[in-house]
Amino acid sequence: MTIQPQASKYHPESKILALGENIGDPVEAADFPKTVLRFRNDRWAEAVGLGHLTDEQWITHFGRFQPLEETLQQPLALRYHGHQFRVYNPDIGDGRGFLFAQLRDSGGRLLDLGTKGSGQTPYSRFGDGRLTLKGGVREILATEMLEALGVNTSKTFSLIETGEDLVRGDEPSPTRSSVLVRLNHSHIRIGTFQRIALEQNKELMVRLIDYCLENLLQPAPEGLPPPIALMRQAVNNTADLAASYMVAGFVHGVLNSDNINITGESFDYGPWRFTPLWESGFTAAYFDQTGLYAFGRQAEAIHWDVAQLAVSLRLLCDSQPLIAELERFPDLYQNALIAHFFRRLGLAPGERDSSLQFIETSVQAMAASKTQIDRFFFDWRHGKPQRADSYAGDTWDKLRAEINAFAPTGTRDHAYWTDEAPCSMHIEEVEAIWSAIAERDDWAPLRHKVAAIRRMGAAHKS
């Protein structure tokens, strides 16, 4: 479920400190040669009581990292391990970011402000701790698009250009630098539990589970051991995330266990892509040679990651109840796929079997006809296809017969639904937006795209 931003008073917190010094390391932000504000997310700034900040104050806090009032007074580089392409790595942690602040939104959720590109930490290894400006722009585009499509995602809160020349193997270099601040519903990852389990730190594991249940999830029902309660909610949350990726046509690219948040919120966008077509083998990362994190394998990948959470929680309890919770994932994924697929179509789902059959028919029709995902959901909104002449033949006749069984929800009154084409986020569009910035320092295409995405998001809610 995506949360809509609503204006709120500033409500600072520092709950993470209850976990003690073993959860992270105090660090200092880099001293950048310049700070030029390129993006501020005023919608979400209002939702956490920071909308009143002037641009100068904004840069002071999110470019120079002067602490906000009554929250963390020193940033923390969080400690975690993780499986990276299914190889365990104990040498990772926050290598170019830190937890900067905690605060609550209008609904009382505990949120984190975390960074990317803010300088070196004890976990930087051989990295420079920096983020390219292109990487920051790409993260804006990913989070805005996913939020508009109903995916539970972190929000790009701020992007500031920092005036350094960086050398990267996957970008023409030297390339421009930036520091990004994201608003997250927690930075507690599966990898956080993996590190604690490897260290056999039972006391910290108990405190971490309590922290999650008290601040991020729902309290454990009476009689249910806290590790099982946490596992149950993690399975629920991540199954929903996997389904939402598919309906959005999104490929995260790096679904390592250190990139899976216990709340099920998607975050940390590197080589992401939106696949134009429903192609199960489509990959986002050039280094994903085996297709481990391909579009059609994302549910499998996330399920595997959550299994590593179960392995970690064995530090405190028996395996069998953890396995029982893990085995719920496939059914939960299918239920979530129904919910997200029908929501994007503006239809009310029917019985489970008929709804799943309709999804299969839709996927087969998209694949056989090479109809783009965004175009399909745009044209078939509410079950009555626009451009009907484009959907002729037996494949589409079968879909037509099935779709009539589902009632429309909402309206098509928003002007977006009369556009010639849907809003999309294909790699060519991303590169064109970046080229305007790189070649002419022209930020207008980015601003226009963000506005178009938010307009689409409003239409989906109508």
DSSP string of 31-64, one letter each residue: --S--EEEEE-HHHHHHTT-TT--HHHHHHHHTS
Tokens of 209: 């589970």
Q: What are residue 441's phi and psi, to 5 degrees?
A: 55, 40
pLDDT band at 164; cut points 50, 70, 90? very high
Arithmetic mean of pLDDT, 343-367: 98
Of 9, 12, 11, 7, which Cα lies nearest the Cα of 43?
Answer: 7
Per-residue pLDDT tens for 260-282? 999 999 999 999 999 999 999 99
At 101 the pLDDT is 99
Taking the whole predicted model, whether its pTM rises above 0.85 is answered as yes
Of 205, 234, 202, which Cα lies nearest the Cα of 220?
Answer: 234
Per-residue pLDDT tens for 38-92? 999 999 999 999 999 999 999 999 999 999 999 999 999 999 999 999 999 999 9
CA distances from 350 to 117, 356, 359, 386, 403 (A): 46, 9, 12, 23, 10
Catalytic residues: 258
DSSP codes, 149-196: TT--B-EEEEEEEEEEEE--TTS-SSEEEEEEEEEES---BHHHHHHH
At 411 the pLDDT is 83
- State the Rg of the chain over Cα: 22
Q: Greatest CA span in the chain, whole angstroms?
A: 65
Q: What percent of the chain has pLDDT over 70?
A: 100
**Torsion angle of the four alpha carbons 351, 354, 356, 357, in this order, in degrees rounded to the nearest 10:** 180
Residue 234: CB atoms within 10 A of its CB come to 27
At 389 the pLDDT is 83
